[in-house]
Structure 1
Amino acid sequence: MRYHTHRTKLEYQKKEGRGEEEKRLHTLLMSARLLLATAHEWFVRRPVSSSCAQAVRELVALGPC
């Protein structure tokens, strides 16, 4: 890796570390979206109490993360 003269190796490592955090957060958000979509499909296809169905509808109405 080439470093610019005005940045230290530590600054680059910190920047790279942030990228890893962003990747983990993105993976977590995508997993949550998949779980929400699965729950929505499950509740739509099965009879459930109205309060559970309403809660899922409200979560789906929030839209993508």
Structure 2
Amino acid sequence: MDKLKAAQKTGLIIFAVLMVLTIVEYIVGAVENPSVVLLFIIGLVKAALIVQFFMHIARLWSEESH
């Protein structure tokens, strides 16, 4: 049960971080001359978080999954 609670807490934290990054991305994109590099970096960070925590890619290389 503790693993489930920890996984839920991690999921909620990552979801909150993704929400904050989306708001920042919107604000950066809404300015008159948006920084494309900053938008690209934010997009990469969001993609990395989704792949790492929601797609469980790390399990592919762990011994547990075999």
Would you say 1:55 and 2:38 are equivalent positions? yes
Instruction: Measure, in 2, the Cα distance between the counterparts of 1:20 and 1:58.
Output: 31
Instruction: Describe how 1:26-37 pairs up with structure 2 within 5 A.
Output: 26-37=11-22
In the alignment, structure 1 residue 46 sits paired with structure 2 residue 31: yes
Which structure has more helix as a fraction of its residues? 2
Contact 1:40 1:56 in 2 (8 A): yes
Aligned length: 48
TM-score (norm 2): 0.58
If you compute each CA radius of gyration, which structure gives the higher value, 1 or 2? 1
Deviations 1:23-58 (A, max 9, x none): 0000000001101111000000014684xx523321
Give unpaired runs (5+ residues) of structure 2. 51-66
